[in-house]
């Protein structure tokens, strides 16, 4: 029999997180700090709207690009929060999570051999999605001394004649880094000068703890070369609803809609109805959750300081990314040992790219009680290492 598989798929490395998941799930009574989704339930009024839509029998397909009502609310929201103007009709596409938007944006924009710049550490799917689009991933290793921000020089150094797209993942998973306006200005300048497009993954945009999030699409000249990706998972604790969206210039969005139409048809209808309520009535819920995350973030930073574990202060998402290199172990060894001896699961930084070596990702999408217990165990673990 011939090999049934494609070369591209065989070349793709499995997610580094997968391996760790398999170990953790074997272990009883482990405390996990390894989750990349909110611990809150979706606010009730949003769930209620989903239930209501089911009761009303709204169980049909929606139009490919999404419910009109939802697209209009998405555009209202982007105008309200970021002063960005998109036409609901033609410049807005509702997707199955931000993940789908990343995939189809790349497939719509990348020709075989085009280079796509991916700053790392970052979310696990950018690189494989570039490969699936027959593009060539070019990784920028972000640095701790820059607080894992992308600098103008780093970007310039990575650009070649073949560069077409920059993936911009801020606020960042796993580092928690944000990219402030002055950095965005520099990056925008480079993109315009070098004629590069941006896929800006802003899924954590509502979770920033130092002023409001600024989108690269707000920078002069960038709106028409940016695909802005966002969604409901993190801001409204709606991961399981699988709902995201992409906004951008009509010429790109219409081609993304074509792929979406053939691959997916439309995003889940129930989720779309529920999401309308999220955007219309969810601001207070988001604020409440942000406040909780911020308190936990401060708690963790204070504990790291007590334990003398170096950690730059992250101002976004719900992760901290402490530097564990002083313990003389790789990230993988550290995480494995911590799990074996103290039964606390954290994710090795290397799951998010080679530049994550020396770091672990700790999620604070957990109650304070859980965090306290887990940090107590980590403290104990470290004290045994230092002896």
Partner 1 sequence: MIELSPIRKEILGVIEHNGRIDLKELAILMGTDEITVANEIADMEKEHIICGYHTMINWDNTTNDKVSAMIEVNVTPQRGVGFDKIADRIKNFEEVNAVYLISGGFDFMVLVEEKSMRAVSQFVSEKLSTIEEVSGTATHFVLKSYKVHGTILEEEKTDERMLVTP
Q: Which of 274, 317, 246 is nearest to 100 (CA)?
A: 246
Nearer to partner 1, 16 or 248 (CB): 16
Chain residues in the site for partner 1 (CB under 8 A):
15, 17, 20-21, 24-25, 30, 32, 34-37, 39, 123-125, 173, 288, 291, 294-295, 298-299, 302, 345, 347, 351, 368
Rounded least distance, CB 21 to partner 1, Å: 4
Nearer to partner 1, 34 or 244 (CB): 34
Nearer to partner 1, 253 or 345 (CB): 345
Rounded least distance, CB 383 to partner 1, Å: 21
Rounded least distance, CB 164 to partner 1, Å: 25
- Sort 323 into a burial class: Cβ within 10 Å, 0-12 / 13-18 / 19+: middle
Rounded least distance, CB 17 to partner 1, Å: 5
Dist CA 311 CA 330 (whole Å): 16
Nearer to partner 1, 302 or 384 (CB): 302
Question: Residue 82 in contact with residue 217, Cβ under 8 Å?
Answer: yes
Nearer to partner 1, 163 or 208 (CB): 208
103 C-beta neighbours (distance < 10 Å), count:
24
Nearer to partner 1, 158 or 243 (CB): 243
Rounded least distance, CB 376 to partner 1, Å: 14
Report residue 302: phi and psi, to 5°.
-70, -35
Dist CA 168 CA 189 (whole Å): 14
Nearer to partner 1, 91 or 202 (CB): 202
The token duo for 1 is 């029999």
Rounded least distance, CB 302 to partner 1, Å: 5
Question: Residue 256 in contact with residue 305, Cβ under 8 Å?
Answer: no
Dist CA 62 CA 182 (whole Å): 40
For residue 245, the SS3 value is strand
**Dihedral (Cα; 148, 242, 33, 151), 10-degree rounding:** 0
Rounded least distance, CB 239 to partner 1, Å: 8
The token duo for 271 is 């989720």
CA distances (Å), origin 210, targets 23, 81, 295: 36, 15, 13
Nearer to partner 1, 98 or 248 (CB): 98
Report residue 92: phi and psi, to 5°.
-135, 130
Nearer to partner 1, 15 or 330 (CB): 15
Rounded least distance, CB 24 to partner 1, Å: 5
Question: Residue 296 in contact with residue 207, Cβ under 8 Å?
Answer: no
The arrangement of strands across the sheet holding 163-168 comes to 92-95, 244-247, 226-231, 197-201, 163-168, 115-120, 136-141
Rounded least distance, CB 34 to partner 1, Å: 4
Nearer to partner 1, 240 or 310 (CB): 240
Q: Cα–chain-centroid distance for residue 110?
A: 21
Q: Which of 361, 358, 383, 355 is nearest to 300 (CA)?
A: 361
Rounded least distance, CB 332 to partner 1, Å: 13
The token duo for 19 is 């391996």
């Amino acid at each position: 029999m011939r090999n049934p598989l494609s070369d591209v798929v065989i070349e793709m490395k499995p997610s580094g997180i997968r391996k760790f998941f398999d170990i953790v799930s074997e272990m009883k009574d482990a405390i996990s700090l390894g989750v990349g989704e909110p611990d809150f339930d979706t606010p009730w009024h949003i769930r209620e709207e989903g239930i209501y839509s089911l009761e009303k029998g709204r169980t049909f397909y929606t139009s490919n690009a999404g419910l009109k009502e939802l697209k209009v609310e998405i555009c209202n929201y982007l105008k309200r929060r970021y002063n960005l103007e998109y036409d609901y009709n033609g410049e807005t596409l509702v997707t199955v999570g931000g993940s789908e938007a990343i995939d189809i944006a790349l497939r719509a924009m990348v020709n075989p051999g085009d280079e796509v710049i991916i700053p790392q550490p970052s979310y696990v799917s950018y690189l494989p999605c570039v490969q699936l689009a027959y593009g060539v991933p070019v990784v920028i290793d972000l640095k701790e001394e820059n607080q894992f921000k992308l600098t103008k020089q780093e970007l310039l150094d990575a650009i070649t004649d073949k560069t077409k797209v920059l993936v911009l993942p801020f606020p960042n998973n796993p580092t928690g880094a944000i990219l402030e306006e002055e950095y965005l200005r520099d990056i925008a300048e480079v993109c315009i000068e070098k004629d590069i497009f941006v896929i800006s993954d802003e899924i954590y945009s509502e979770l920033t703890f130092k002023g409001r999030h600024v989108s690269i699409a707000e920078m002069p000249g960038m709106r028409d070369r940016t695909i802005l990706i966002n969604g409901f998972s993190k801001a409204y604790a709606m991961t399981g609803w699988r709902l995201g969206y992409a906004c951008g210039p009509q010429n790109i969005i219409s081609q993304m809609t074509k792929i979406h139409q053939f691959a997916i048809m439309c995003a889940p209808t129930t989720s779309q109805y529920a999401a309308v309520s999220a955007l219309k009535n969810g601001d207070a819920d988001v604020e409440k959750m942000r406040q909780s995350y911020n308190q936990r973030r401060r708690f963790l930073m204070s504990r790291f300081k007590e334990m003398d574990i170096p950690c730059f202060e992250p101002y976004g998402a719900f992760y901290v990314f402490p530097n564990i290199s002083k313990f003389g172990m790789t990230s993988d060894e550290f995480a494995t040992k911590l799990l074996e001896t103290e039964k606390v699961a954290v994710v090795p930084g290397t799951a998010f790219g080679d530049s994550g070596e020396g770091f672990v990702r700790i999620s604070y999408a957990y109650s304070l009680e859980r965090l306290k217990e887990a940090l107590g165990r980590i403290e104990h673990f470290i004290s045994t290492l230092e002896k």
